[in-house]
Structure 1
Amino acid sequence: MSCICDVVLLLLCDSVPLKSISVQVRVQDHVATVSSTLQYVNEEECPLEALFVFPLPADAAVCHFSAKIGEQEIVAEVQDRESARDQYDDAVSSGQQAFLLEESAESPDVFRLSVGCLSAGQNAAVTIIYITELAVQADHSLRFCLPAVLNPRYTPAGSGAGIVSEISSGCGAVPYTLTLSVHVSSPKPISKLESNCSLDPLVFLQSDHTQATVNLSPGHMFDKDFELFVFYQDTHQPSAIVETGVTTAPPGSLMRDPVVMISLYPEFPEEVMSSLATRGEFVFVIDRSGSMGSMMHYGKGAKMRIESAKDTLLLLLKSLPMGCYFNIYGFGSHFESFFPKSVVYNQETMDQALKRVKEMKSDMGGTEILKPLKHIYSQRCHPDHPRQLLVFTDGEVGNTKEVLDLVKSHAHSHRCFSFGIGEGASAALITGMAREGSGHAQFITDTDRMQPKVMQSLRFALQPAVVNIFVDWTLPDGLTVETLSPPINVLFQGQRTLIYAQLKGESSGGSEGTVTVKYSLKDQPVTNQLHFCLKPTEETGLSIHRLAARTLIRSLEQEKRSGAADVEGIRNRMVELSVQAGVSSVHTAFIAVNKDSRQTVKGPLKRRRVLAYDSDEFDDMCYGVPQMGIRRGFACFKQSNDDVYGDIDIYDDGFDALAEAAPESQKDLLLQLVSLQKASGCWDLDATLADVFGKTEDELTNQKPAQVDGSVWATLLALIWLYGCKIEQQVEWQFVAMKAASWIGSQKVGDLSQCVCAGNVLLGCQVTKETLGI
């Protein structure tokens, strides 16, 4: 049965020109160089133009693009974007083979590849090379992500969202294959490699474990991004890489001079970190668009994204300190808040919020995050309660750069912590919001539990803000430094900070430099320092220069968008940097033309769009789409027992109809316990608490020491159970436990040691009073 009326279906032909993708990844310490080769074959009887819109990491520096037809290889040049487009159109219209690679103007993690005038029966291998930094995770690993999922981005009617509006997706597997190999090398020994996908056995190439290789097992279905986690020994040691420049580059240019990449890991004084903030305004912004009804993953026991977000909100609300301020916003095509403005956190307001959380659904249409953010920023901040914004979204936004500019313009008044939920969340949006909002970004994909990552970010949000950050360089006589990275506006305990800088001049003989980061933390001056060797590191190619150029290009682009006076001058500087460094930018494109090829083309070329896998379960939406219609992309229609894929033109904005509920997963006893805690930190002694422990209320009451109040006994039992039975999930309940211990400490309790012993006997645990933090 067809579920939507008046929708034009454009059937895809059976022949898809992209046949395979082969990826080689070379990880050197904190940087990855990725080479992807896309194999195209035209199996039709006429010339084709193939279009492929695909994702890349948000901060990738694309530095090489080439095409090989038969034995002939054509290496692309970086040119001004308009000039490159004109050259491509001219070449294709005259029957020449041409290849064009462009970065989306709306979202820097989306690219479009145009393969023009591919003759009947012809093969073409297109190679794209990019460099990207690896982010440090909470478990000290470095995360490499090869994006394989590209979700359609919500584009409001009339917004003209360019390349992101061309994202096309299909139901089910894409018709091309992926092979992937990884080579890791580092001065530090490699402890292990982990992945969310199946890997062949790891092979160490050196006895000291400083080099290793691993391959992706065959059969990747493109239903999730490929994630690799690299564990080194001593990952959190500060480091510096100095890279020599190109002698043929213009004197004084970025590519001519040496460039240094500094990795710093600030260590805050213990006395500051021992007491987290008890004040703050916590604003939770929850994506309630239709796509949040998709599953977190496709395995057993998966929850819908919105349900996982609701569980996480419960944990967050229970973890907030008494007396802070909070509010919760839901957004889609419109937005709503639980309270007209942020309210004081107490038992009454917490109960009101939890009631509303239980009623939340993914029923608010498309993904328009700009309006709620503008409204939040228009609200006055509370004195002595720093604003902390926590944003949960699957990141399917078409106006990414507009959102990032808004966050940056209010960076002085808040910190922004962002969470990308599910496969295909826009890395540009998630990492960009955190970067511009002086916060921290997390991605929750595959079978990840959302709660541990969110609670880590809450710990960051409760850390005192670092202010007055100043970077000082000490270099030998004759050398000067020009910092290429934007000013540091955020530091967190244990999190890496990267600095790129250009070294100018000639050293008079010294071989060491020093970079010093000074800042204030709770009115205390703090200094972190790194001494580094000025001798260039071997075998880095030009990766550091290109990452530095990409960083500088991004800064210039933002300066241009922010209303700078010399817009044309900034654009010209971006184009010059892009061409000199050979890296992509929004104002340039890679263009390659095979001038030896020329064929007669009658009429317009047949155009074939290559599908990118979309993780949303489109077929679940085919049984009625009320009111809002379908967003742009490929949707699925049920006709008899067959799935028909169609290219949908937008009538309106977003999906609303998705699967109503996921199958009941096993009862989560931890969340059940947390849901029973009072805002003050205590628990009531009742049957619902006893049920969590697998006991009856009478068993709890009969074992209660005579001199102890029922709530104190209940709270002690909850703490003992957490430390005795759920210690592996401590990151999730750490603040719940801190509140509980603080509450017990405020009560007049006699012999606590005797109470803890009685509790251990009742629950079958062996937890000491000291462990409980009372």
Structure 2
Amino acid sequence: QAPPARWSLVCTSIPLKSIEVELEVRDHVATVVSTLLYENKEDKPIEAVFVFPLPGDAAVCHFSAVIGQTQIVAEVKEKQQAREEYDDAVSSGQQAFLLEESDQSPDIFSLSVGSLPPGESASIRLEYVTELAVQADDGLRFCLPAVLNPRYQPQGRKTSHVQVTSVPASLVPYSLSFSARVSSPRPISKVESSTSLDPLQYLNAEKTQATVKLAAGHKFDRDVELLIYYTDAHQPTAVVEAGQASAKPGTLMGDPVVMVSLYPEFPQSVMSSVASCGEFIFLLDRSGSMSCPLNNSNHQETRIASARDTLLLLLKSLSMGCYFNIYSFGSSYEHIFPKSVEYSETTMEEALKKVEQMTADLGGTEILEPLKHIYSQPCIPNQPRQLFVFTDGEVGNTKEILQLVTRNSGSHRCFSFGIGEGASTALINGLAKEGGGHAQFISGADRMQPKVMQSLRFSLQPAVVDISVMWDLPKGVSATVLSPPITAIFQGQRSLVYAQLTGQSSEAAEGSVCLLFSLLYRLSVHRLAARSLIRSLELEQKEDEEEVDEGLRKKVVELSVQSGVSSAYTAFIAVNKSNKETIQGPLVRRNVPAPKTLYTDISYVIFYLTFFSLCSDSSSKEDEAVVPEQPPRDPLLQLVSLQKASGCWLLDAALAAALGKTSEEVEKPKPASVNQEVWATILALIWLHGFKTDAKEEWELLAMKAVSWIHAQNGNTMITNVDLFLSACAGENQLLGK
């Protein structure tokens, strides 16, 4: 069915026609060059405003425009000054361009193209650098965000200067071309993506350089994710980048900067031990947008349903003696227990009953208040606090949230999970970084459960304390660390350290850097270091946005202007002063839409009625819940749901049904001398090892708890070595197969 005429009219007036993206990856640093082509096909001059997402940790370092034969390179200036220059230029008929970062969230940018005459086109070039995050399977993740869902603004908070205009992802009116070039000191083993790619092309025999492109026909209606795999990826590296020749020595841009990538390996004897204590607090988003499908490949499974299943696995994997609580939030928040309770069969069952009833029915996305309540609760002695946050990240007060987490970073570790397309990278990465934890994104065809269970294993690792970085540099050379102190180290995860090198030495001089801890080119590096320092300074700003620390603002502005990297207090401004003719006629504003996800997959007629009504509603109405029809439960989750808090299973009809057998088939082979619960637990473990090896990440911890429970049972001599028994039976299907 064809879209209504109203949308056709809007679509033809969108001035943004295409986006071309060139990605260059060097080891684990990405440089992204985006070219946006604007064309005015109307009979009057226009101002095009495009609000779009970027990675939250990106350092925007170049902004320029080409109109006809004239190129205009923007300068970084204090934000209010840049806005005034832009307004003055546009009002006087000059062409001008303004790029600014959102005051509230560093992953939202606004690009204004002013006074584009009828029939004229403009090419905008935007460049940024960013670090690539390491995934659970050692892949480096690059994400080009496309989806920008409307961000919920809490009641009583001031509205952000940047307003989001969005359309359903399937109706984005501009095209995307994307190509990537990858180079590394180590061979490139493969490149994968959630979208279709042309085959990887190697550029040399050593396979250290390669190119890849998006397959033809791709529409920029979802995030573009690349996973890059290197051989021997977990090796420490150091990159030294010379300073800018035109910059003054002694400044950040004038001195060399080193980026050290550290991959500490813990002794196997330490890693084999798993902590059995801790206070585990799970914070679940129940805003209306959590009723959206989890990904494009499965429209039946919703975000909230996947989160419920994940909580089941988490609760079953906890150990007796630890403490836990579950919070959920939307416009308001709830908690299952008044304060964290000791983990037992009674408390686990009570929590699971309430989790099963959770739906996406709490309105908007207000995460600040539940966080305040959690932090107001006193920590439990000898029970390290671990906070797990599940959200689709559609919040408008990101900086205020991160400031709160930073102030409480000494009392807990925070593990964050961004669910679905459009999750705020600034929020998800920021929660983990400021909370000393680890961030994960669930998008495309990803499943939530294995990623969350990996983070649970991180939280159970032994505490790493007394972290320090020691520099052994040539005489006359010193290092000033620019990045925040390392507060968390996990097995197999990368830690980045940026440092400014001052002083002089001979060309042949060498130095080294050592990470100590205890167990209880394109000036990309300079700009990433500046971005790291800027973000640290911005989070020092007082919570009350009206009380701006002028000394802090001045320091950020100076650093931003010097390095050419965007910040919350600056903007890129470019004015075409070469064109002496003023542009005549009233200026018409045109908002360029970014894609957003749909709440339901319904007919065109219902969708358009809903879409255009939502355009005039408040942000809280956009988050109203749609209760989905629940699909049948997965057999693995069915079996897991029957496990007791102690780790055992009961020999009953429910277990037999979960194993796909009758009660007689599971009870008859049991030797008379074997306890029923021991027998039931052994059968459950055999089923897991024999039929669900592909999901071992999800059930491994709860299986370890079951094995420990069996070992603790006295008087059952049938199995003297449970581990050996399971190893022999895994995959053989002798008891439960044909």
TM-score for the superposition, normalised by structure 1: 0.90
Q: Distance in 1 between matches of 2:156 and 2:680?
A: 58
1:698 matched to 2:696? The reply is no
Q: How many Å separate the matches in 2 of 1:312 and 1:10? A: 42
Offset, 1:422: 0.5
Paired residues for 1:87-486 under 5 Å: 87-170=85-168, 172-300=170-298, 302-486=300-484
- The 2-side partners of 1:502 and 1:248 are apart by 17
* Structure 2, unpaired ranges of 5+: 1-6
Q: Distance in 2 between matches of 1:332 and 1:270?
A: 42
Counterpart AA for 1:556: L
Following TM superposition, by how much is the alpha carbon of 1:463 offset from its aligned partner in structure 2, in angstroms?
A: 1.3
Alignment CA distance shift 1:178-1:508 (3 Å) = closer
Change (3 A) 1:727 1:406: same
In 2, Cα distance between equivalents of 1:56 and 1:757? 50
- CA distance in 2: counterparts of 1:426 and 1:300, whole angstroms: 22
Deviates more, 1:141-150 or 1:298-307: 298-307
Offset of 1:762 from its aligned partner? Answer: 9.8
1:669 aligns with 2:635: yes
Q: Which residue of 2 aligns with 1:648?
A: 616
* Alignment match, 2:717: 750
The 2-side partners of 1:680 and 1:650 are apart by 47
Equivalent residue of 2:235, what SS? coil
Q: Structure 1 segments of 4 or more deviating over 4 A?
A: 562-566, 598-604, 618-624, 643-646, 651-654, 753-764
| CA distance 1:88–1:439, shift in 2 (3 Å) | same
Taking the aligned partners of 2:428 and 2:165, their CA distance within structure 1 comes to 19
Q: Which amino acid aligns with 2:691?
A: C
Deviations 1:557-606 (A, max 9, x none): 22234799993233222222212211111111111111233555566411
Letter in 2 for 1:743: W
Q: How many residues align?
A: 728
Deviation at 1:508, TM superposition (A): 5.0
Structure 1 Cα separation of the partners of residues 113 and 600 of structure 2: 28
Are the structure 2 counterparts of residues 514 and 358 from structure 1 closer, same or farther at C-alpha, using a change threshold of 3 Å?
A: same
Secondary structure (helix, strand or coil) at the match of 1:389 reads strand
Given that 1:173 and 1:222 are in contact with CA atoms closer than 8 Å, whether structure 2 keeps it comes out as no
Q: Does 1:686 align with 2:664?
A: no
Pick closer, same or farther for the CA change 1:229–1:236 going to 2, 3 Å.
Answer: same
Give % identity: 59
CA distance in 2, matches of 1:755, 1:559: 53
* Aligned mates of 2:733, 2:166 — CA distance in 1: 56
* Residues 204/508 of structure 1: CA separation in 2 closer, same or farther (3 Å cut): closer
Q: Residue 13 of structure 1: CA displacement?
A: 6.0
Residues of 1 paired with 2:45 and 2:454: CA distance? 53
Q: Can you list the C-alpha shifts for 1:172-205, whole angstroms capped at 9, x where unaligned?
A: 3200111100100111000000000000111101
Measure how far apart 1:651 and its partner are: 7.6
Question: SS state of the match for residue 88, structure 1?
Answer: helix
Report the 3-state secondary structure (helix = DSSP H, G, I; strand = E; otherwise coil) of the residue aligned with 2:239.
strand
Amino acid at match of 1:455: M
- Identify which of 527, 531, 535 aligns with 1:546: 527
Verify the 8 A CA contact 1:478 1:507 in the aligned structure 2: yes
For 1:425 and 1:162, locate their aligned partners in 2 and report how far apart those are by CA, in whole Å: 18
2:578 equivalent to 1:596: yes
Q: Does residue 61 in structure 1 map to residue 55 in structure 2? A: no
- Measure, in 2, the Cα distance between the counterparts of 1:308 and 1:184: 34
With over 3 angstroms needed to count, the CA separation of the structure-2 counterparts of 1:699 and 1:566, relative to structure 1, is closer
Quote how far apart the aligned CAs of 1:273 are.
Answer: 1.6
Distance in 2 between the 1:363 and 1:206 partners?
A: 55
Indicate how the Cα distance of structure 1 residues 756 and 93 shifts in structure 2: closer, same or farther if over 3 A, else same. closer
Decide whether aligned partners of structure 1 residues 96 and 301 sit closer, same or farther in structure 2, where only a CA change above 3 A counts: closer
Contact 2:143 2:223 in 1 (8 A): yes
- Taking structure 1 as reference, are residues 304 and 273 closer, same or farther at Cα in structure 2, changes over 3 Å only? same
**DSSP 3-state at the match of 2:228:** strand
Instruction: Tell me if structure 1 keeps the 8 A contact 2:484–2:536.
Output: yes
In 2 relative to 1, CA 280–759 (structure 1 residues): closer, same or farther, beyond 3 Å? Answer: closer
Distance 1:614 1:720, change over 3 A: same
Give unpaired runs (5+ residues) of structure 1: 1-8, 523-539, 625-634, 769-774
Q: Which residue matches 2:499?
A: 501
Structure 1, 209-218 or 77-86: larger mean CA deviation: 77-86
Match of 2:568 among 573, 586, 597: 586
The CA distance in 2 between the partners of 1:598 and 1:662, in whole Å, is 63
Retained in 2: the 8 A contact 1:151–1:396? yes
Change (3 A) 1:25 1:703: same
- Is the Cα contact below 8 Å between 1:91 and 1:97 reproduced in 2? yes
Q: 1:221 offset after TM fit, Å?
A: 3.1
Summarize the Cα distance change of 1:269–1:593 in structure 2 as closer, same or farther, 3 Å threshold.
Answer: same
1-structure distance, mates of 2:616, 2:579: 35
Match of residue 4 from structure 2: none
Judge conservation of contact 1:161–1:399 (CA < 8 Å) in 2: no
3-state secondary structure, aligned to 2:540: helix
Q: Is the 8 A contact 1:97 1:598 kept in 2?
A: no
Q: Indicate if the aligned counterparts of 2:93 and 2:584 stay in contact, CA closer than 8 A.
A: no
What whole-Å deviation, never above 9, does each CA across 1:327-375 have from its counterpart, x for those lacking one? 1011000001011111111001111011001100000000000000000
Pairwise CA RMSD: 2.6
Q: C-alpha distance in 2, partners of 1:761/1:484?
A: 53
Shift in alpha-carbon separation, 1:43–1:363, aligned structure 2, 3 A:
same
Contact 2:44 2:585 in 1 (8 A): no
Give the counterpart letter for 1:735 in structure 2. L
Partner residue of 1:726 out of 692, 703, 707: 692
